[in-house]
């Protein structure tokens, strides 16, 4: 039976804004990488092309909605919003804001790259995305080092979320550079390499520590079960960025005095991309095994389930990028299989998310637990309201 009462789990519709958390932008990450990978699906499927455009525009709509809600929380509930920065899990999801924007940038270029407006808009959004990635990449670790409380045994893959956006922006740099004038393409490519260098070494340091943590303290709580998939994120984007930036370097710097040096970037990109892809295959298998282990004991739904989508999607993007360079049929077939798995995960998670969004159950900010609402800053219309049972679902 269809529930005709939206946000019924909340005491007031304003609670949807007050308890809005940045992990909602993982919906944009998952939906965005899906339409990008569907566009690269190597086999003909009737209706697939219009579906990718529908998902693209729907993703834009959700991104604008979430931006409005997130800004609304800071405007009307400033005090509570500031508590987000001190939360050792929710603050990590600030990285989802630029990562949710990146697929929109790539989609604008891939779908409408023949129009100057789309390219210019994508370039402006890319600079915004790169700036946000750097800002969050400094802000969240600073709070980790100075204010937040962390313990080694509680560490999970979510530590990667504020670090990875820079290399996701590097992928977008390699995507839009071929559509830009020469000098602009050169600048974007160079910045892309810098963004890759800012993110990937730090991410791999975290992965090494995460391996040790899993060996010593075993699997995290089942609420964080999907976090094991997040390791595929920096591996997939790191691989894809190397390949795309290598290709864009050859195009952007053709005819320059040092072109013979930059020509190596294309070969290095493919070799480095293959190395990272192989590492990703190990993490893919391990994440699948760990997930099956959790399923035996029950896997509670939360917004963390979007971790099934974006990491898998960027690893799929790496697979297709390698196929484009090598033409080995294995990568095409394996990439197609990954797209099918990605689409399955997306349909399951989207269904559950839409249900939780409609009822209001998923609007729950752990950083507000125990908070006195009368202390909130904002307009009179957002005065105190009792906390409902929606708090019971702690969205990680």
CATH number of the domain bearing residue 59: 1.50.10.150
Query: What is the tally of structural domains in the chain?
Result: 1
Q: Is residue 5 part of a domain?
A: no
Q: How far apart are CA 143 and CA 83, in angstroms?
A: 11
pLDDT of res. 4: 65
Q: Is residue 8 part of a domain?
A: no
pLDDT of res. 2: 54
Q: Is residue 288 part of a domain?
A: yes
pLDDT of res. 138: 98
Range of the domain at 210: 15-392
| pTM beyond cutoff 0.75 | yes
190-205 exposure pattern, b = at least 16 Cβ within 10 A, e = fewer: bbbbebbebbbebbbe
Q: Is residue 112 part of a domain?
A: yes
Q: Is residue 6 part of a domain?
A: no
Q: How far apart are CA 158 and CA 89, in angstroms?
A: 7
Q: Which residues contact 250 (CB under 8 A, 6 or more apart)?
A: 262, 263, 265, 266
Q: How would you write 39-76 as a 3-class SS string?
A: HCCCCCCCCHHHHHHHHHHHHHHHHHHHHHHHHHHHHH
pLDDT of res. 63: 98
Q: Is residue 3 part of a domain?
A: no
pLDDT of res. 366: 87
Q: Is residue 186 part of a domain?
A: yes
Q: Are 169 and 98 in contact (CB under 8 A)?
A: yes
pLDDT of res. 396: 35
What's the number of CA atoms in the CB half-sphere (13 Å) around residue 238?
25
pLDDT of res. 195: 98
Q: How far apart are CA 101 and CA 347, in angstroms?
A: 21
Q: Is residue 7 part of a domain?
A: no
Per-residue pLDDT of the chain (396 residues; tens, 9 = 90+): 456 678 888 888 999 999 999 999 999 999 999 999 999 999 999 999 999 999 999 999 999 999 999 999 999 999 999 999 999 999 999 999 999 999 999 999 999 988 999 999 999 999 999 999 999 999 999 999 999 999 999 999 999 999 999 999 999 999 999 999 999 999 999 999 999 999 999 999 999 999 999 999 999 988 889 999 999 999 999 999 999 999 999 888 887 777 677 778 889 999 999 999 999 999 999 999 999 999 988 888 999 999 999 999 999 999 999 999 999 999 999 999 999 999 999 999 999 999 999 999 999 888 887 443 333 333 333 333 333 333 333 333
């Amino acid at each position: 039976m269809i529930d005709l009462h939206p946000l019924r789990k909340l005491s007031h519709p304003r609670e949807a804004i007050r308890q809005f958390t940045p992990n909602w932008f993982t919906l944009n990450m998952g939906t965005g990488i899906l339409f990008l990978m569907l566009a690269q699906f190597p086999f003909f499927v009737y209706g697939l092309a219009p579906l990718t455009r529908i998902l693209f525009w729907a993703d834009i709509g959700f991104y604008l909605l979430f931006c409005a809600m997130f800004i609304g929380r800071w405007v009307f509930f400033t005090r509570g919003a500031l508590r987000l920065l001190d939360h050792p899990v929710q603050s990590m999801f600030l990285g989802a804001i630029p990562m949710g924007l990146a697929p929109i940038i790539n989609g604008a270029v891939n779908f409408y790259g023949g129009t100057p407006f789309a390219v210019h808009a994508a370039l402006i959004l890319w600079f915004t995305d790169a700036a946000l990635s750097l800002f969050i990449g400094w802000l969240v670790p600073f709070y980790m080092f100075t204010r937040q409380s962390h313990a080694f045994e509680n560490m999970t893959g979510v530590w990667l979320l504020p670090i990875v956006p820079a290399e996701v922006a590097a992928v977008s740099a390699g995507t839009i550079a071929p559509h830009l004038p020469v000098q602009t393409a050169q600048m974007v490519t160079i910045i892309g390499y810098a963004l890759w260098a800012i993110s990937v070494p730090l991410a791999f340091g975290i992965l090494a520590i995460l391996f040790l943590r899993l060996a010593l303290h075993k699997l995290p709580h089942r609420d964080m079960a999907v976090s094991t998939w997040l390791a595929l994120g920096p591996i997939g984007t790191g691989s894809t960025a190397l390949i795309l930036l290598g290709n864009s370097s050859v195009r952007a710097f053709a005819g320059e005095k040092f072109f013979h040096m930059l020509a190596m970037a294309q070969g290095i990109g493919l070799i480095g991309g293959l190395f990272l892809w192989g590492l990703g295959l190990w993490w893919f298998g391990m994440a699948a095994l760990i997930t099956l282990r959790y399923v035996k004991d029950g896997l509670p739904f939360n917004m963390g389930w979007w971790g099934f989508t974006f990491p898998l999607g960027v690893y799929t993007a790496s697979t297709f990028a390698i196929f484009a360079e090598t033409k080995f049929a294995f990568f095409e077939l394996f990439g197609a299989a990954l797209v099918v798995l990605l689409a399955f995960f997306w349909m399951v998670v989207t269904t559950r998310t839409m249900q939780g969004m409609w009822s209001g159950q998923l609007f729950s900010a752990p950083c507000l637990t125990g908070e006195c609402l009368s202390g909130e800053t904002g307009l009179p219309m957002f005065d105190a309201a009792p906390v409902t049972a929606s708090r019971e679902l702690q969205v990680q």
